[in-house]
Amino acid sequence: QVQLVQSGAEVKKPGASVKVSCKASGYTFTSHTLHWVRQAPGQSLEWMGWINGGDGDTKYSQKFQGRVTITRDTSARSAYLELSSLRSEDTAVYYCARGGGTMVDWGQGTLVTVSS
Amino acid sequence: DIQMTQSPSSLSASVGDRVTITCQASQDIRKYLSWYQQKPGKAPKLLIYDASNLATGVPTRFTGSGSGTDFTFTISSLQPEDIATYYCQQYHNLRTFGQGTKVEIK
């Protein structure tokens, strides 16, 4: 079965960067898109961007353009989300999700806390 | 950017009640809409895709309808395990989620 396993919780200071990983199994990694979605405490879901598992093509939400980088390592069957210039408002649970249009399978989430 | 307006933001209903949630897109998204269920502390779970198609393993009491800009999600007979927050999401252009509807038992 499809599994997306994310890295553990992070605590970062304002201005720092964070890199979250998402390791995939149970499907052909290069045949599917992986999305990154975040959820601040008590808030809705917010799409950040995607990466094509095959050619590595990326697309980002305009809100995060310039601060977010999504990469993948096909040999490791993993995708990565890097968010820079962190501020308190970036405190959230970050999810990876597999899917083209809709998001069929989700990781367990990674809590990133930004605090001085 | 496409905006998704979901209503109501919360509702309270009795077990066995019919529950309806609406989602309106700021522009025509054809049929490219999904519905997700999220329970506290858990990742979202896909329920409906392409506006009306039930995802694998999802109970048939969940249905979706609509196209263009107006969409509806219905639970035909609310069960205790349906207590959750429900989100719509468009995928016509990039991705956008609605604000969510918290469903509680009366």
- Res. A86 pLDDT band, cuts 50 70 90: very high
Instruction: Give chain A positions within 8 Å (CB) of B102.
Output: none
Query: Chain A contact for B35, CB < 8 A?
Result: no
Instruction: Give chain A positions within 8 Å (CB) of B89.
Output: 45, 47, 102-103
Instruction: With CB atoms and an 8 Å threshold, state whether B97 touches A62.
Output: no
Q: Which of B32, B55, B97 sits opposite A46 (nearest CB)?
A: B97
Q: Which of A47, A95, A99 sits opposite B96 (nearest CB)?
A: A47
Residue ranges, chain B, pLDDT below 50: none
Average pLDDT over residues A25-42: 96
The pLDDT assigned to A114 comes to 98
Q: Is the pLDDT of residue A100 over 90?
A: no
Average pLDDT over residues A101-116: 97
DSSP A30: G
Instruction: With CB atoms and an 8 Å threshold, state whether A61 touches B94.
Output: yes
Instruction: With CB atoms and an 8 Å threshold, state whether B95 touches A95.
Output: no
Distance CA B34, CA B71 (A): 10
- Res. A101 pLDDT band, cuts 50 70 90: confident
Q: Show the 3-state SS of B33-88.
A: EEEEEECCCCCCEEEEECCCEECCCCCCCEEEEEECCEEEEEECCCCHHHCEEEEE
Query: Chain B contact for A58, CB < 8 A?
Result: no
